[in-house]
Amino acid sequence: MIAYIIRRALYAIPILIGVNIITFVLFFVVNSPDDVAKLHLGQKHITTQQIEDWKRERGYHLPLFINGERQGVEKFSETIFFQKSFKLFLFDFGSSDSGRDIGYDISNRMWPSLAISIPQLLVGLLVTISFALLIAFFRATYIDYWAVVICVALMSISALFYIIGGQFIVGKLLKVVPISGYDTDLHAFKFLILPVLIGVIGGLGSGTRWYRTIFLEEVSKDYVRTARAKGISEQLVLFRHVLRNALIPILTGVVVILPTLFIGSLLTESFFGIPGLGSYTIDAINRQDFAIVRSMVFLGSVLYIIGLLLTDISYTLVDPRIRFS
């Protein structure tokens, strides 16, 4: 079991190297630091000296791969590739184009992200699973048919409308909770209700429909028929047999997104003014701060790979056959 996990973890290394190479090529080879400097300094009336200064301040003045001016190890370490890309492996993100320490910002900003994404995931799971189970109970009736139609309709509404509509109705018309903002400690609670609620409603359509399929697949299996043949009531069949077994694919499906909860949601956070990693990323994109975007790309990939790893592990825990194959 442990050997299996180690083997899977080792697979992650070449993938991370690949991600690193892609981001390096995108950010430094396709457009040279000179182009980026020009973009930041504005187009007209800039001297080469200004560009040089801008690059030197942010460490982009170094050569890409090999520094001919240095000796020994420094020949390779004093390069953009080592300073900007390789150091990501050590989770040393460096400083942003505006001079702030990215690692510090990330460690501060992941808590608000988690404060939204974890309740959103838990409440969302609870609600969608209950709805899906209810629909599975009424399967092949008009209730089932219309529930699926409503799910499809809910899925067809853009996330933007959920957020704008929710903000408008709950925050502005009913004035129950503040529209946006964030606070420390427990005061944050009132700011979190609306984004969590909207997140849950936004995911309701696709989630319910997906879990309904899983439940229906489970319902048609032989052991369920056996249980029914034994005379167990339909409710008991659903709760004791179907729900328990269907939870296996549902939960293993959830595991893969667990690590990405840190990053939070780009849209929700920027709409509600929550100082998490999602709004951090959006701000960086809007300010064209390439250092932050690059760090977030790397961090996102690491978290995704961890998610894959956790999925593999959870499969082995659930299904012993995988361990021995």
Partner 1 sequence: MPFQPVILLTDALFFLLTAAIIIFVWVAKNRPHLRRPWMEVLTRTTGVVSLTVILFYYSIAILDSLHFHPKLDRSQNSEHQYSSEILSVLDVLMTPMRTQVEKTFSAPLATQYLAKEMVQYEDGSVDMQYKRLDYGGSHLQNSATEKKADLLLLLLKGTVVAVIMWALVWVFIAFLLRKPWQLSIAQCISRIVRNDTVIPFRAVAITTGILILLVAIAAFVGSKYHLFGTDKVGQDVFYQAVKSIRTGILIGSLTTLVMLPLAITLGAMAGYFKGWVDDVIQYIYTTLNSIPNVLLIAAAVLLLQVYMSNNAENFDSLTARADLRLLFLCLILGITSWTGLCRLLRAETFKLREMEYIQAARTVGLKNITILSRHVMPNFMHIVIINIAIDFSGLVLAEAVLSYINIGVDPTMNSWGNMINQARLEMARDPLVWWSLTAAFVFMFTLVLFANLFADVVRDALDPRVSNHSK
Smallest distance, Å, CB 155 to partner 1? 6
Under rule CB under 8 A, residue 291 binds partner 1:
no
List residues bridging with 68 in a β-sheet.
none
Smallest distance, Å, CB 11 to partner 1? 8
Q: How many residues in the shown chain lie near partner 1 by CB under 8 A?
A: 47
Q: Can you say how many angstroms the Cα of residue 321 is from the centroid of all Cα atoms in its chain?
A: 30
Sole binder of partner 1 in the list 108, 130, 141, 158 (CB under 8 A): 158
Sole binder of partner 1 in the list 160, 169, 317, 322 (CB under 8 A): 160
Task: Give the whole-angstrom CA distance, residue 11 versus residue 3.
Answer: 13
Instruction: Let me know: does 318 contact 263? Beta carbons within 8 Å.
Output: no
| Cβ-based nearer residue to partner 1, 107 or 158 | 158
Instruction: Let me know: does 260 contact 300? Beta carbons within 8 Å.
Output: yes
Task: Give the whole-angstrom CA distance, residue 164 versus residue 172.
Answer: 11
| Cβ-based nearer residue to partner 1, 44 or 187 | 44
Smallest distance, Å, CB 69 to partner 1? 27
Task: Please list every residue from 260 through 279 that binds partner 1, using CB under 8 A.
Answer: 260, 263, 266-267, 270
Sole binder of partner 1 in the list 9, 41, 123, 155 (CB under 8 A): 155
Smallest distance, Å, CB 146 to partner 1? 13
Backbone phi, then psi, for 101, in 5-degree steps?
-75, 115
Task: Report the chain's terminal Cα–Cα distance, integer Å.
Answer: 11
Smallest distance, Å, CB 31 to partner 1? 5
Task: Please list every residue from 294 through 313 that binds partner 1, using CB under 8 A.
Answer: 294, 296-297, 300-301, 304-305, 308
User: Which residue in 141, 41, 105, 31 sits closest to 280, CA to CA?
Assistant: 105
Sole binder of partner 1 in the list 150, 232, 248, 285 (CB under 8 A): 285
| Cβ-based nearer residue to partner 1, 208 or 270 | 270
- The 10 Å CB-count burial string (b at 16+, else e) for 86-100 is bebeeeebbbbbeee
| Cβ-based nearer residue to partner 1, 64 or 232 | 64
User: Which residue in 241, 215, 239 sits closest to 227, CA to CA?
Assistant: 241
Task: Please list every residue from 1 through 60 that binds partner 1, using CB under 8 A.
Answer: 14-15, 18-19, 22-23, 26-27, 30-31, 35-36, 38-39, 43
Smallest distance, Å, CB 98 to partner 1? 16
| Cβ-based nearer residue to partner 1, 52 or 78 | 52
| Cβ-based nearer residue to partner 1, 35 or 183 | 35
Tell me which residues touch partner 1 (CB under 8 A).
14-15, 18-19, 22-23, 26-27, 30-31, 35-36, 38-39, 43, 152-153, 155-161, 164, 167-168, 260, 263, 266-267, 270, 281-282, 285-286, 288, 290, 293-294, 296-297, 300-301, 304-305, 308
